[in-house]
């Protein structure tokens, strides 16, 4: 196990043999649910929740349960096969995209979009933060109104880092939102 939290360990594969190899390289046995969930994460760009993963796989994998999905996602997070996404609310959402990128989160519907990091100047985080937190990377999250929610009025964006989100506390981030249904 050479996995490190939040470190993406292997490039995506597009076939089952490649996925089995990715699982083994991450120290995980290639079980059927893991192969199915990894395959979904390699192509799904919506940053799905565990429930969304289950909904997407249920037709082809009728015996899959929500608890299996949760356990698998947690194992993938520990192994660096996916990353947690700070979306709206407390729900865990995961990102199977393996390249470094930023996110734009719609403040109205909660949809999460991938944004190339080279649209902004590079950020140089401190090597450590208070309370012994070792910094392994920096991600920027844009707060946006997506085109669908703006109804054609065009999206506007404010720029913030995850650290500044926390400092902002209950500001804009604490506003109630319409859950995505």
Q: Residues in the site for Zn ion, rule: CB under 5 A?
A: 95, 97, 106, 108-109, 114, 146, 149
Closest CB to Zn ion among 92 and 149?
149
**CB of 83 vs Zn ion, minimal distance in Å:** 8
Q: How far apart are CA 148 and CA 136, in angstroms?
A: 34
- Length reported for the chain: 181
**Closest C-alpha to 63, from 31, 23, 93:** 31
Of 49 and 97, nearer to Zn ion (C-beta) is 97
Contact 1, 27 (CB under 8 A): yes
CA atoms within 13 A on the CB side of 39: 18
Shorter beta-carbon distance to Zn ion: residue 20 or 82: 82
CB of 28 to Zn ion, least distance (A): 22
Smallest gap, in angstroms, from Cβ of residue 97 to Zn ion? 5
């Amino acid at each position: 196990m050479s996995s490190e939290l939040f470190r993406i360990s292997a490039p995506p594969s597009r076939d089952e043999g490649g996925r089995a190899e990715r699982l083994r390289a991450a120290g995980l046995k290639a079980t059927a649910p893991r192969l199915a969930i990894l395959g979904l994460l390699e192509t799904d760009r919506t940053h799905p929740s565990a429930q969304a993963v289950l909904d997407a796989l249920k037709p082809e994998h009728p015996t899959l349960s929500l608890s299996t999905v949760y356990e698998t996602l947690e194992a993938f997070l520990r192994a660096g096969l996916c990353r947690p996404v700070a979306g709206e609310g407390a729900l865990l959402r995961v990102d199977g995209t393996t390249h470094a990128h930023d996110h734009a989160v719609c403040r109205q519907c909660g949809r999460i979009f991938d944004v190339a990091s080279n649209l902004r100047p590079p950020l140089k985080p401190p090597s450590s933060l208070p309370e012994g937190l070792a910094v392994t990377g920096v991600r920027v999250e844009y707060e946006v109104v997506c085109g669908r929610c703006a109804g054609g009025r065009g999206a506007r964006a404010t720029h913030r880092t995850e650290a500044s989100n926390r400092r902002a506390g209950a500001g804009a981030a604490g506003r109630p939102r319409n859950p995505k249904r």
